[in-house]
Amino acid sequence: MALSDIELVTLAKATQSEAAFAELVRRHQAGLRAFLRKFTRDGAQADDLAQDTLLKAYRAIQGFEGGASFRSWLYAIAWREFLQGKRKSAANDRLAREAAPDADDEIDHSSVSELSIDLQRALASLEENERAAILLCDAAGMSHAEAASALGAPLGSVKTYVARARERLRAALHAEAAPVNASTAKPELAATRSR
């Protein structure tokens, strides 16, 4: 029978061996990277962040007290790493500006469907907190409480971010799907118009 995350963490803490932590890495790396890739829209940056996150988690595992799920603890490290990196690097400030919906060249078109491209474009139009919250809750399937723990934000704020993000995504996707001016519609403008 497969051990739960908490059992693996307990084992990793007690034995200080890598085997238990390795299982946690295998279990969570894809989800973590998918979240970071969708969030940053930059595969290399996302993988660097994921690597730093996992190595930091390995060093800090003794400090995990089990108040939250291991997954939200891991994502909280990733979120802090992202914020720290953003503060450190002036280049990362470009991310916010590049979050404009017409930053089409940021999207890897090779492996995604037409709808997915629209979705990524719409996601890109969201503010960071909204994008992170909706990715954690709706895409990764976290509860609002888990997402709040991961983002270090109050529960009420996370619920607001998710609701606002859904509203903006709806407007952006609606604009994309509209037959008139569909190719030139700016989701951000459409979102503004829809309010």
Provide the binding-site residues for another protein, judged by CB under 8 A. 16, 18, 21-22, 25-26, 29-31, 33-35, 37-38, 47, 50-51, 54-55, 58, 111, 115-116, 119-120, 134-135, 138-141, 166, 169-171, 173-174, 177-179
Considering beta carbons, is residue 31 or 85 the nearer one to another protein?
31
CB of 30 to another protein, least distance (A): 4
Considering beta carbons, is residue 58 or 64 the nearer one to another protein?
58
Q: In whole angstroms, give the CA distance from residue 150 to residue 132.
A: 10
Q: Which two tokens stand for residue 146?
A: 């888990």
Q: What are phi and psi of 127, to 5 degrees?
A: -75, 160
CB of 140 to another protein, least distance (A): 6
Considering beta carbons, is residue 111 or 184 the nearer one to another protein?
111
Of 141, 162, 157, the closest CA to residue 71 belongs to 141
Task: Please check whether residue 1 is in contact with residue 44, taking contact to mean a CB–CB distance below 8 angstroms.
Answer: no
CB of 193 to another protein, least distance (A): 12
CB of 171 to another protein, least distance (A): 8
185: Cβ contacts below 8 Å, ≥ 6 apart = 175, 176, 178
Task: Please check whether residue 130 is in contact with residue 163, taking contact to mean a CB–CB distance below 8 angstroms.
Answer: no
Considering beta carbons, is residue 128 or 138 the nearer one to another protein?
138
CB of 178 to another protein, least distance (A): 5
CB of 175 to another protein, least distance (A): 9
Considering beta carbons, is residue 102 or 167 the nearer one to another protein?
167
Query: What is the Cα gyration radius of the chain?
Result: 18
Q: How many CB atoms lie within 10 A of CB 188?
A: 20
Considering beta carbons, is residue 87 or 112 the nearer one to another protein?
112
Alpha carbons within 13 A on the beta-carbon side of 97: 5
Task: Please check whether residue 161 is in contact with residue 134, taking contact to mean a CB–CB distance below 8 angstroms.
Answer: yes
